[in-house]
Chain A
Amino acid sequence: DAGVTQSPTHLIKTRGQQVTLRCSPKSGHDTVSWYQQALGQGPQFIFQYYEEEERQRGNFPDRFSGHQFPNYSSELNVNALLLGDSALYLCASGAGLLNSPLHFGNGTRLTVT
């Protein structure tokens, strides 16, 4: 039973560039959420996707956007990267809008220089 998978595992980008992170949910899950975890902090909610629509959004600027595909996989896009965007980006999946419990991938470590 495949868990949540994310790619790539590590990424280094330059300020001002754009990045795309990818996530495949756990088998049987159809809801995908993205979280940003800065060093020494807990995960902060970015947004949630269900049925290919953004269902709720945390306190993140429009530079952060996403997409969910018909096979439930998802992408997170960040434009005009800032140094402060350096973090571990976690994808979590759940079943339907009950969204419980969340299962996490191992994350993508993004470094912006």
Chain B
Amino acid sequence: GEDVEQSLFLSVREGDSSVINCTYTDSSSTYLYWYKQEPGAGLQLLTYIFSNMDMKQDQRLTVLLNKKDKHLSLRIADTQTGDSAIYFCAERAPTSGTYKYIFGTGTRLKVLA
């Protein structure tokens, strides 16, 4: 079946690194995404990685992809209080001439000052 799984909560101290993990199920997924959602807002695209890559770095964000284990992670370096939000992992898989996105349930990141 289709399922993207994430741990529900993560708490870190300001200045530490945060690592948010995700497992997905569709091996045909071509892109994997990380979105951020702040209270009362929509989803903000943070970064994404193509399925033939192992790692992508974008400023404080590092995405690691283990395609064999269908495991994706997002590392946030030097975590700040403004990073407190819910983080969603999503996979894009082909279907019927287009693509569908499947989202995880989200990881709530709390950054302690």
Give me the interface of A with B, judged by CB distance under 8 Å: 4, 6, 33, 35, 40-45, 48, 50, 55-56, 90, 92, 97-107
Contact = CB atoms under 8 A, between A and B. Distances in A.
Closest 9 CB pairs of A and B: A42-B103, A104-B42, A104-B43, A106-B42, A97-B98, A99-B99, A42-B105, A43-B103, A107-B42
Interface of B: 4, 31, 33, 35, 40-45, 48, 88, 92, 95-106
A98 B33 contact: no
Given A41-B105, A50-B98, A101 B48 contact: yes
A105 B92 CA distance: 19
A105 B42 contact: yes
Contacts of A42: 4, 88, 103-106
Contact of B99 (A40, A92, A100): A100
A90 B95 CA distance: 21
Nearest to A41: B105
Given A90-B42, A105-B42, A97 B99 contact: yes
A58 B102 CA distance: 11
A40 B106 CA distance: 8
